[in-house]
């Protein structure tokens, strides 16, 4: 039985995932990971260290070959390799996630009493997802993951609706806090979490390329009990 948690003026509603939604959920999550690879690469290019890194490669190419054309080709090749690496690593993140608890959504979420998968529904079409599950290390806390929104539905509040549904579920079931993570490149996810009351707890580092480290931000939302 579908349970509606909240809805928007545009007719989009958040409800619990059903068996018929599984394929759409996996597609939205994969698309989100692919788009994140573009964002990771954009973060890399925006850093001064990256521009210095590329300039040094161009200079070395010119010193060895005395040709601006060859040096430029080396730079383009280097940038292309870095983009492919960011794509491969993002795809690996998606694969690991799908091979773990998303491999069997029916058992791990739909039939589970310790986890829930919410979907944003636009007239029967799944346009967003988020999961919450009880943390093994803290029985009073939930872990929020898989916050993904379809490409045509971003920046209109769908992510906020999904996170608020998770918060509502946590409060209603007596949990004290919700923890979530977002990569440095996931600007929209960070803004959504912060707008919903999550506070930055700590940052950890992931190495994508030599001399390029990406931060993963850990957020926590402390829940107030409601009657």
DSSP string, the chain: ---EEEE-TTSEEEEE--GGGHHHHHHHHHHHHHHHHHHHHHHHHHSHHHHHHHHHHHHHHHHHH--HHHHHHHHHHHHHHHHHHHHHHHHHHHHHHHHTGGGGHIIIIIS-SSEEEEEEEETTEEEEEEEEEE-SS-TTEEEEEEEEE-GGGTTTTHHHHHHHHHHHHHHHTT--EEEEEEETT-HHHHHHHHHTT-EEEEEEEEEEETTEEEEEEEEEEEPPP--
The first and second tokens of residue 117, run together, are 């998968």
Q: What is the mean pLDDT of residues 188-201?
A: 94
Q: Is the pLDDT of residue 58 over 70?
A: yes
- Of 73, 90, 79, the C-alpha closest to 45 is 79
Please report how the helices 48-65 and 68-99 are oriented relative to each other, as an axis angle in degrees rounded to 10.
Answer: 140
Q: Would you give the end-to-end CA distance of the chain in angstroms?
A: 25
Burial per residue of 73-97, b for 16 or more beta-carbon CB atoms within 10 angstroms, e otherwise: ebbeebbeebbebbbebbeeebeeb
pLDDT at 14: 94
pLDDT at 221: 96
Residue 122 CA to residue 4 CA, distance in Å, equals 12
Residue 136 CA to residue 141 CA, distance in Å, equals 9
pLDDT at 133: 93
How many C-beta atoms surround the C-beta of residue 107 within 10 A?
Answer: 10
The first and second tokens of residue 99, run together, are 């091979």
pLDDT at 153: 92
Counting residues of the chain whose pLDDT is more than 90, the rounded percentage is 42
Cα of 85 vs its chain's centroid, Å: 18
* Per-chain mean pLDDT for the chain: 85
Q: What is the pLDDT of residues 85-132, one digit of tens each?
A: 777 877 777 777 776 778 889 898 988 888 999 999 999 999 999 999
pLDDT at 81: 81
pLDDT at 34: 82
pLDDT at 209: 63
pLDDT at 7: 56
The answer to whether the CB of 154 falls within 8 A of the CB of 205 is no
Q: What is the mean pLDDT of residues 37-43?
A: 80
The first and second tokens of residue 28, run together, are 């939205």
Q: Is the pLDDT of residue 226 over 60?
A: no
Q: What is the pLDDT of residues 59-95, one digit of tens each?
A: 888 888 888 888 888 888 888 887 887 778 777 777 7
């Amino acid at each position: 039985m579908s349970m509606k948690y909240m809805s928007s003026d545009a007719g989009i509603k958040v409800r619990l995932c059903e068996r018929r939604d599984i394929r759409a959920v996996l597609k939205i999550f994969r698309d989100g990971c692919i788009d994140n690879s573009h964002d990771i690469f954009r973060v890399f290019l925006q850093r001064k260290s990256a521009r210095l890194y590329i300039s040094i490669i161009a200079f070395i190419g010119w010193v060895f070959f005395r040709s601006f054309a060859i040096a430029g080709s080396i730079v383009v090749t280097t940038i292309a390799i870095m983009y492919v690496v960011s794509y491969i690593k993002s795809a690996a993140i998606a694969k690991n996630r799908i091979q773990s608890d998303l491999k069997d959504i029916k058992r791990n979420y739909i039939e589970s009493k310790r986890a829930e998968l919410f979907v944003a529904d636009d007239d029967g079409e799944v346009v967003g997802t988020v999961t919450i599950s009880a943390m093994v290390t803290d029985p009073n806390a939930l872990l929020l993951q898989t916050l993904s929104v379809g490409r045509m539905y971003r920046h209109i509040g769908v992510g906020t609706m999904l996170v608020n549904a998770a918060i509502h579920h946590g409060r209603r079931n007596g949990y004290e806090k919700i923890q979530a993570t977002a990569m440095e490149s996931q600007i929209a996810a960070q803004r959504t979490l912060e707008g919903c009351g999550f506070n930055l707890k700590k940052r950890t580092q992931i190495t994508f390329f030599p001399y390029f480290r990406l931060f993963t931000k850990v957020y926590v939302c402390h829940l107030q009990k409601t009657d």
